[in-house]
């Protein structure tokens, strides 16, 4: 098989030789692609000329270890790694995707998921996932939150769209109308706030909810023996046979007194198997891991049925001290830093190789290879 499969890594902002998002990851992908007859370039919607069917992007040359500007054909496959910073980028993205699909130019490898609220409702259709999904409410007004605290003393709120724990907050009711808040602002900086009365709390709510849409969930005690929050990132990917495979599991642990364990918020990573065995008895730790594995495959099936083809998914699970497993979040553009920080070289390597091998598989299927 001598034909080359072209992969276009789609980003939100025009890449330049000196300004390439996720540079290290794309260089590793390019290195892996070299032996699989797969060509990779990075581009944005602005760099596509549909009349000439040419893309002006940047590509990494493995032999010289340098990035260069290049003109490439419309890609056979779109690997979406777009992270938007404004509405204009999102609008251009949607326009490009529509044109790409209308022209039947190729395949999109990982479709975008909807909002967290939409994803939660989608997953709730799967009976097998009910036991792992926290009760969730879309906040439509400050009164929704106030009503919640009529019968509850704690809550966790998070933006309906967003990543890295940005904008999340833990709220605890102290006494009749006093509230204590631990959160992360839109710069992902930790803050604490004490509201001595309902008026102050309501003011904070109005300001927070004005910035974006939020979800409310019960506060789940997802922490280790020392009170440090942790979650388990599972990376699910398609392999060279086009089948879902569990690439690796890593624990992301925060510091005591914080509410999130995301690496962007200062968390650290560790091998999930070793971490869980230190907290739970051997049999319990093994059962927790098996439950997480089983749920991950069910999630992949459910997401593809409702959102279209996926190349990979990052799935986050939380575990209570009792061993109860919760499905926290799903990411269609997962990172891989946790495996490197956790000292899991095999998972880190497979996380690079799997996308390339899966794309090669798809390409050979499409041309009758």
Q: Which residues of 340-368 are buried (b: 16+ CB within 10 A; e: fewer)?
A: ebbebeebbebbbbbbbbbbbbbbeeeee
Instruction: Say if CB 20 and CB 69 are below 8 A apart.
Output: no
Tens-digit pLDDT profile for residues 105-114: 899 999 889 8
**Mean of the pLDDT values across residues 199-205?**
96
Residues written for the chain: 369
What's the CA gap between 360 and 338, in Å, rounded?
26
**Mean of the pLDDT values across residues 291-297?**
98
Residue 209 has pLDDT above 90, yes or no: yes
163 or 140, higher pLDDT? 140
Residue 130 has pLDDT above 50, yes or no: yes
Q: pLDDT value at position 163?
A: 77
| Residue 31 CB contacts under 8 Å (≥ 6 apart), including other chains | 62
CB atoms closer than 10 angstroms to residue 186: 11
Residue 273 has pLDDT above 70, yes or no: yes
Q: pLDDT value at position 188?
A: 84
- pLDDT band, very low/low/confident/very high, at 257 (cuts 50, 70, 90): low
CA 82 to chain centre: 12
Residue 315's nearest CA partner among 332, 290, 340, 337 is 332
Tens-digit pLDDT profile for residues 326-349: 999 999 999 988 999 999 999 999
Residue 48 has pLDDT above 90, yes or no: yes
**Mean of the pLDDT values across residues 93-104?**
93
* Kind of pairing between the strands at 190-195 and 137-139: unpaired
**Mean of the pLDDT values across residues 196-225?**
92
């Amino acid at each position: 098989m001598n034909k080359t499969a072209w992969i276009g890594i789609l980003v939100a902002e025009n890449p330049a030789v000196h300004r390439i998002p996720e540079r290290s990851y794309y260089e590793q992908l390019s290195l892996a692609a070299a032996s699989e007859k797969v060509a990779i370039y990075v581009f944005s919607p602005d760099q596509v000329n549909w009349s000439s069917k040419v893309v002006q992007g940047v590509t990494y040359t493995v032999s010289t270890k340098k990035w260069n500007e290049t003109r490439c054909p419309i890609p056979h496959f779109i690997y979406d790694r777009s992270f938007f910073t404004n509405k204009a980028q999102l609008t251009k993205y949607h326009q490009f995707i529509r044109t790409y699909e209308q022209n039947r130019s190729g395949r999109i490898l990982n479709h975008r998921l909807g909002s967290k609220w939409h994803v939660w409702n989608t997953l709730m259709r799967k009976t097998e996932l009910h036991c792992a999904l926290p009760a969730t409410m879309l906040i439509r007004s400050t009164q929704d939150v106030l009503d919640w605290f009529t019968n509850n003393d704690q809550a966790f709120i998070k933006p309906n769209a967003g990543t890295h724990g940005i904008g999340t907050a833990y709220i605890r009711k102290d006494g009749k109308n006093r509230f204590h808040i631990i959160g992360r602002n839109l710069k992902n900086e930790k803050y604490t706030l004490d509201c001595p009365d309902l008026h102050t709390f309501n003011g904070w709510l109005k300001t927070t909810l004005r910035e974006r849409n939020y979800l409310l969930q019960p506060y789940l005690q997802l922490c280790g023996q020392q009170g440090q929050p942790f979650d388990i990132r599972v990376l699910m990917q398609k392999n060279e046979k086009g089948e879902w495979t569990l690439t690796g599991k890593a624990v992301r642990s925060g510091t005591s007194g914080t509410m999130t364990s995301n690496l962007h918020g200062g968390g650290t990573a560790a091998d999930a198997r070793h971490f869980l065995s230190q907290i739970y008895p051997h049999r319990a730790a093994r059962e927790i891991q098996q439950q997480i594995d089983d749920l991950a495959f069910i999630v992949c099936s459910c997401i593809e049925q409702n959102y279209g083809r996926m190349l990979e998914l990052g799935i986050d699970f939380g575990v209570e001290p009792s061993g109860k497993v919760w499905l926290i979040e799903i990411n269609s553009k997962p990172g891989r830093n946790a495996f490197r920080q956790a000292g899991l070289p095999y998972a880190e390597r497979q996380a690079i190789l799997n996308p390339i091998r899966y794309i090669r598989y798809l390409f050979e299927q499409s041309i009758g290879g």
